[in-house]
């Protein structure tokens, strides 16, 4: 019987969703972190749960040619794959997508999924930083222990310099109740805003002092400009509004999704956020769009951004489950990590659109929902992926379904 603390010799077989790799010991599945498929490793069991052992690599007996030295703490948030050479990361993510569709959805994809790569340094436009005393950073995986955000290389150097100055202002002002910093900046890094969360309301003068930190943009908004073909899209977004986080792949992702919308189509964009896909489809594909967003903050941005689309985008603040009967040629869904709720899925398939474009940051819930969408009379036309999260096990997947 395996127990925490046991050291196991393992041959690593294949990747699993979530960042661990699959190995076996005496027929039992072991999910091992810090390994690469094909390696022989020694791993220490950290827990045994529902018959599956979870272990961390402590020694490499036969390393993969794709192993590299991570630049910082591999357990710091956003670094679980940092020990893997980047091209191999992309191949692993493609394998994880295919495996999830086969295992969870019982679906064979029409072709291997190509994962578009990203520069690894400075890719993040949005981040949540945790504050403890005079320090800020990310959490180490599975803990509330702070680790150094600079060593992860996810944020731009100028961003980190600004955060250093902000923390100095926090300390100077005696604002020891500050616990979280929500950061958002635009694609070129010319605008940068933060929202500071505190255990107790900050004095107005202290809050103004923090927000006047050099490197921060006044106000809670940034503006992004994306050029797709001959069109230039301008989008306002609040620091607390959801938005895709990778500055290097944002344009490619939006161009790809909007490119799946036929010219002059009617489009229902669900979980529309600030209108990223809605405004692009209206501007580039002349689509007539109804954009639905339930979040109060994002929906305010959506209304502002829709107003610039020459009447092509109608913004609605509503939960997807409550949209009622709708008719459209195309539906786009970009749900949270939990995927479509039963009510949302029922609303989506009732539209009976000719095309359904599903944008997902979680391949497990995507595969689950794909099975139900296929059962409702659709077939997968294509699947593509974008590595919005380098050095992590996460990947953004776009699946196009056609009514069969």
Q: Residue range 345-358: average pLDDT?
A: 96
Q: Residue range 33-40: average pLDDT?
A: 97
pLDDT at 286 over 90: yes
Residues 6+ apart with CB under 8 A from 42: 7, 8, 9, 10, 57, 58, 59, 60, 61
Average per-residue pLDDT for the chain: 96
Distance set, CA 197 to CA 176, 177, 361 (Å): 11, 8, 26
pLDDT at 345 over 90: yes
Residue 404 banded pLDDT, cuts 50, 70, 90: confident
pLDDT of residue 17: 86
Choose among 75, 99, 98, 84: nearest CA to 35.
Answer: 84
pLDDT of residue 142: 85
Residue 87 banded pLDDT, cuts 50, 70, 90: very high
Lookup: tokens for 87: 């091209």
pLDDT of residue 162: 98
pLDDT of residue 72: 83
């Amino acid at each position: 019987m395996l127990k925490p603390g046991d050291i196991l010799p393992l041959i690593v077989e294949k990747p699993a969703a979530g960042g661990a790799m699959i190995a076996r010991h005496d027929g039992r599945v072991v999910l091992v972190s810090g390994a690469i498929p094909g390696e022989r490793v020694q791993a220490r069991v950290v827990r045994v749960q529902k018959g599956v052992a979870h272990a961390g690599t402590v020694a490499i007996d036969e390393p993969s040619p794709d192993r590299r030295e991570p630049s910082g703490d591999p357990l710091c948030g956003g670094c679980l794959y940092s020990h893997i050479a980047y091209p191999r990361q992309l191949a692993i993510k493609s394998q994880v997508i295919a495996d999830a569709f086969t295992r969870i959805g019982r679906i064979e994809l029409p072709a291997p999924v190509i994962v578009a790569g990203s520069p690894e340094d400075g890719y993040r436009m949005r981040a949540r930083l945790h504050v403890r005393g005079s320090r800020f950073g990310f959490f180490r995986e599975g803990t509330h222990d702070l680790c150094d955000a600079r060593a992860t290389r996810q944020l731009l150097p100028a961003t980190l310099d600004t955060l250093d100055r902000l923390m100095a202002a926090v300390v100077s002002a005696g604002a020891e109740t500050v616990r979280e910093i929500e950061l958002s900046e635009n694609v070129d890094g010319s605008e940068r805003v933060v929202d500071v969360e505190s255990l107790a309301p900050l004095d107005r003068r202290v809050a103004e002092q923090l927000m006047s930190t050099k490197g921060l943009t006044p106000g809670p908004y940034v503006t992004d400009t994306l050029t797709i073909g001959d069109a230039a899209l301008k989008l306002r977004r609040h620091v607390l509004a959801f938005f895709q986080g990778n500055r290097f792949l944002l344009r490619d992702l939006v161009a790809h999704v909007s490119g799946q919308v036929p010219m002059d189509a009617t489009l229902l964009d669900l979980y529309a956020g600030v209108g990223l896909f809605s405004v692009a489809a209206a501007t580039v594909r002349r689509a007539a769009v109804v954009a639905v967003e339930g979040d109060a903050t994002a929906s305010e941005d959506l209304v502002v951004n829709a107003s610039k689309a020459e009447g092509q985008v109608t913004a609605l603040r509503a939960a997807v489950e409550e949209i009622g009967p709708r008719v459209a040629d195309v539906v786009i869904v970009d749900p949270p990590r939990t995927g479509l709720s039963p009510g949302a899925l029922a609303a989506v398939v009732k539209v009976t659109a000719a095309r359904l474009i599903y944008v997902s940051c979680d391949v497990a819930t995507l595969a689950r929902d794909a099975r139900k969408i296929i059962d409702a009379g659709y077939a997968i036309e294509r699947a593509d992926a974008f590595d919005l999260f380098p050095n992590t096990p996460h990947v953004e997947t776009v699946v196009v379904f056609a009514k069969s």
